[in-house]
Chain A
Amino acid sequence: MNKNLVLYASILVFGLAAPFIFPAFKVQLSILCVLIILAVTWNIQGGEMGYNSFGNILFYGLGMYLCASVQVGMFFPLAEWTESGGEKTFVHTPTQFFQGMAVGLVVAAVVPTIVAGLIGYSILGLRGHYFAICTLGLGVAAGEISGGIEIIGAGQGFTTPPFPNVGGLEARGEFFYFCSFFALVFAFITVRGIYSTRFKLILNAIRDNEDKAEAMGIETMKYKIIGWMVSAFFCGLAGGIMGGLVGYIDSTDVAFDGREMGVFMVLMAILGGKGTLWGPVIGATVFHIFKEGFWTFFLGWQYVALGVLIVIIVIYFPEGIMGWLREKFPERFGEVVDEADRKAQVELK
C-alpha cells in the first residue's frame, strides 16, 4: 500500500508539473490524457467484459458536439453561430466561455451515459462479431447523420468558441491540459475503484462464459449496460474537452472519427495489454510517442511505420506489453510461481 502511494503521488506530481516542465508539449500531453481515458474505458468492454466495442466513438463524438453546442447555445443563437454565410461575429467573454465550458462538459458526460443506457439494452444483447459490427455501424451512422444536421454546422463543421483573451499565450494550453488531466485522474480513480469490487469479477465472468454467469444468477445484461454507461460517461467527457482543444468539429474527421480514434482506442488497449488496469495507460503512452515520432521522422511513411509497429506487436507481444511483462516476471505481479512447474515448462519447450 505504501509503495502504491508513492507511485500515485509521483504520477500526480508529474502530471501537475508536466505543462510547466515541458511547455512546448502541452497539446500533445493533453491529447495523451484523452487517449488514455479512451483506452482505459474501452478496456472495460474489450478487456474485462470481452465485448469488442467499436462504438465508444459514438459517445466521444456526441460529447464533443454537445459540449460545444451548450457552450455556444447558452449565450448566443446556435443556428446563427454555425451558419456559414452569417455576417455576425459572436465573441464569448471569459466568464461566458468558462461557464459554458463547465456546463457543456457536464452535459457532454451525462447525455452519452443516458444514451448508452438506452441503446445498451438492445445492442448488448448481441455477442461476438455481431456486437462488433453493430457498434462499428453506430459510429459510422452517427457521423453521417450529424453531417446532415444544419444546426450543428452539418458538412460545414462547427467552430468551437475561441479561447478568451485572458492569462497570456500559454493559458489556453494550460487550461485544456488540466481539463484533460483531471478528467484522466477522475476516470482512472473510478475505473480502479470499480475494478476492486465484485463488479470486475462479474465482468470477467461474462467474458469467460456468459451463459454460465447467467446460470449462476448474475443479471448479466444489467452489468453490461452499467459497464457501458461508465465508458460512455468518460468518452463523452473526453470528447467535450477534445472539441475545445481542436477548436473545430467536423462530423466524420474529428467527432465520429471511427477510422482514427475509434480504432486507436482498441489498438492502444491491446498494445498495452487488455484486461489489465495499467495496460491501456502504458499502451496509449507508447502508442502516442511512437506515432508522434513517426510523424516527425518518417514524413509520408508514418502509416507504414505504424503498420510495422502493429505487426511487431501482434507477433511478439500478442498479450500486450503488460501481458509480456507478466509472463517474463510473474513474481513482480504477485503471482506465486512453482519452480518445478517452470522447469517443466522450459523442458517442454
Chain B
Amino acid sequence: MKINKIILSFISAVAILLSTSVVSFAKVVGDKIVLGAAISLTGKYSSNGVHTQNGYNMAVDRINSMGGVKVGGKTYKFEIIYYDDESNPKRAAQLAERLISQDGVEFMLGPYSSGLTKAIAPVTEKYGVPMVEANGASRSLFTKGYKYLFAVLAPANLYLDVAIRTAVELNGGKGVRIAQAFEQDAFSQDVRLGILDAAKETGSEIIIDDKLPKELNDMAATLVKVKQMKPDVLVVSGHTKGALTAIRQIAEMKVDVPMLAMTHCDAAKLSKQHGKNSQYALCASQWHKSLTYKDEFFGSGMKYAADFEKEFKYDPPYQSAESSAALLVFKDAFERANSFDKKKVRDALAATNMQTFYGNIKFAEGGQNVDKPMVLFQVMCDGAGKCENKVVAPLKWASAKLIHPIPKWSDR
C-alpha cells in the first residue's frame, strides 16, 4: 500500500502549514490598542453590517485624530481587526475564538444582530474578554448572567412598545386590534414579545400573528389578511429586508391601515428608496440626529450626521451611531481603568455613566443600557415628494406631531 506514503506526506504538509501560520499580536502593540470585531460584510445582514463597520471606523478615526486614548500617561490609538461572519452565527462564534486565541485580541466590539451576538457572547465570556456591543438588543442576551457583555442600546422588547401605547392613547385608552408579522430571528421575535406584553397591559387584541422567513422578500399572505380584518395597527419587523418588503407590498397592494409601526426604516433608507410610498410609516429607533445629546468628540447628533454624510455619502442610521458610541464607551473605560488589564477594564465598563452624542449610557447588572429611551419617528414627505424622518415620540424630543390615522391610499 504505497498510498500510505501519499497520505502521510499530506498529513505532515498540513502540520507544517499549521505550525507556520501562527500569527499572534498582542492586544496592545506599541501605541495601538487592537480591538476585534466580526462583522456581517456578506449575507443577509450585509447592509447593516456595513452601517456598523462605518460607525466603528468613524469613531476610531475621530478618537485617534483627537488625541487617542490616554492610559498610564501614554497615548494610544485604536485599531480594529475585522472578519466577515457572513451573517452566520456558527461562523461568528468561530471568528470570536480566532480573534481571541489566534490574533490575541483582548477587547471585542460586537457584531451586527442579536443572533450573532448570542453566538459570540459565550466565547468572550469564557475568555473574560470585555465586549461592548452596539447591535444585539435581544432581551435574552441580558438574562444569561454574562459579566463581560455591555450593550449601548435599549433591549429589543422596548422597540415598539411606545407605538402600541400611543395607538391605545389615541383610541381613547381602549385596547386596539393589532396585526403583526415578524421575521424568524432573535431580534424580531423579541420585538414581538414586547408587543405581546404591551398588548396584555393595554387590553389590546392581537388578531394576526404571522412569522416571516429569514430570506424575507414576500409578505403578501399577511397583507391579504390585513386587508380583510382591518386592524388598527400593523406591526412589521424583520431588519432591513423586512422594512423594504413591507413598504413595497403595502404600496403595491394598497393596504389601508391606520397605523404602521416598523423597525429599521432608517437602515433601509426607506424615505430615500421608496419616497412617498413610505410616508406615515412609524419607526422605532435607538437614536435620531435631532436628539439633543452632546459629547466632545462628535458634538451633537446633527454634527455627527453631517460628518458621517460627508464621509460615507448617506444619512447615518442609528446602527452607525450606536456603533460609534461603543468606541466612546471603550475609550472612557480604558482611561478610567488606567490599565489594559481585562478585569479592570471590565469593572470600569460596568461603572460607566456618561453622555455621548448618541445618548446617555449606563449599564444595568445584565449589561443592557438603562439610561436611554427609544424614540419613534415618522416618515413625512413635503409636496415636492422629499421625505424625511421626524421624531414624534416621546414628546420630550418630538419635532413634529404624529399624523394619525394614515390617510387611505385612495385619498393620497
Give me the interface of A with B, judged by CB distance under 8 Å: 3-4, 6-7, 10-11, 14, 21-28, 31, 84-89, 91, 144, 147-148, 154-157, 159, 162-163, 169, 172-173, 242, 245-248, 250-254, 257, 260, 278, 282, 285, 289, 295, 299-300, 302-303, 325, 329, 331-334
Contact = CB atoms under 8 A, between A and B. Distances in A.
A159 B19 contact: no
B88 interface: yes
B122 A24 contact: no
13 contacts: A10-B11, A24-B22, A24-B101, A27-B101, A89-B144, A162-B125, A163-B126, A246-B93, A250-B119, A250-B186, A253-B89, A253-B90, A334-B3
A302 B90 contact: no
Contact of B184 (A87, A251, A260): A251
Residue of A3, A24, A260 with most partner-chain B CB within 10 A? A24
Interface of B: 1-8, 10-11, 14-15, 17-19, 22, 24, 41-42, 82-84, 87-90, 93-94, 97-98, 101-102, 115, 118-119, 122-123, 125-127, 138-140, 143-145, 157, 182-186, 188-190, 193, 197, 211, 213-214
Contacts of A11: 11
A278 B94 contact: no
Contacts of B144: 89, 159, 162
Given A27-B94, A246-B89, A250-B89, A282 B7 contact: yes
Contact of B6 (A27, A91, A257, A332): A332
Contacts of A89: 143-145
B42 A300 contact: yes
B115 A157 contact: yes
Nearest to A321: B10
Contacts of B145: 89, 91
Contacts of B24: 24
Most buried by B among A6, A87, A163, A254: A254
A139 to B, nearest CB: 14
A248 B17 CA distance: 30
B39 to A, nearest CB: 10
A172 B41 CA distance: 29
A4 B1 contact: yes
A84 B193 contact: yes
A329 B2 CA distance: 10
Contacts of A257: 88, 90
4 shortest interchain CB distances as A-B pairs? A155-B184, A332-B2, A247-B122, A248-B119
Contact of B139 (A85, A252, A278, A302): A85
B93 A248 contact: yes
B84 A154 contact: no
A27 B157 contact: no
B118 A157 contact: yes
Contacts of A6: 4
A295 B186 contact: no
Contact of B213 (A14, A144, A246, A248): A144
A155 B183 contact: yes
A31 to B, nearest CB: 7
B181 to A, nearest CB: 12
Contacts, number: 165
Nearest to B142: A87
B41 A300 contact: yes
Given A155-B211, A163-B126, A295-B84, A289 B14 contact: yes
Given A85-B157, A87-B143, A148-B211, A253 B115 contact: yes
Nearest to B145: A89
Contact of A22 (B7, B19, B123): B19
A20 B311 CA distance: 46
Contact of A162 (B14, B82, B126, B139): B126
Nearest to B125: A162
B138 A156 contact: yes
A332 B9 CA distance: 14
Contacts of B126: 162-163, 169, 172
Contacts of B182: 155
Contacts of B8: 7, 10
A4 B4 contact: yes
Contact of B17 (A173, A242, A289): A289
A323 B11 CA distance: 18
A12 to B, nearest CB: 11
A265 B2 CA distance: 27
Contact of A156 (B7, B11, B84, B190): B190
A27 B97 CA distance: 7
A7 to B, nearest CB: 4
Contacts of A333: 2-3
B352 to A, nearest CB: 22
Contacts of B6: 325, 332
Nearest to A259: B88
Residue among A22, A156, A303 with the most chain B CB within 10 A?
Answer: A156
Given A6-B4, A299-B41, A325-B3, 8 more contacts: A7-B8, A21-B15, A157-B185, A163-B126, A250-B186, A282-B10, A332-B3, A334-B2
A242 B360 CA distance: 39
B199 to A, nearest CB: 14
A21 B94 contact: no
Contact of A278 (B3, B138, B157, B190): B3
A260 B7 CA distance: 27
A325 B17 CA distance: 22
B41 A247 contact: no
B130 to A, nearest CB: 15
A122 B391 CA distance: 58
Q: Which of A27, A242, A303, A329 has the most chain B CB atoms closer than 10 A to its own CB?
A: A27
Contacts of A157: 89, 115, 118, 185-186
**Which of B10, B82, B89, B190 has the most C-beta atoms of chain A within 10 angstroms of its own C-beta?**
B89
Contacts of A25: 18, 22, 102
B11 A302 contact: no
A176 to B, nearest CB: 10
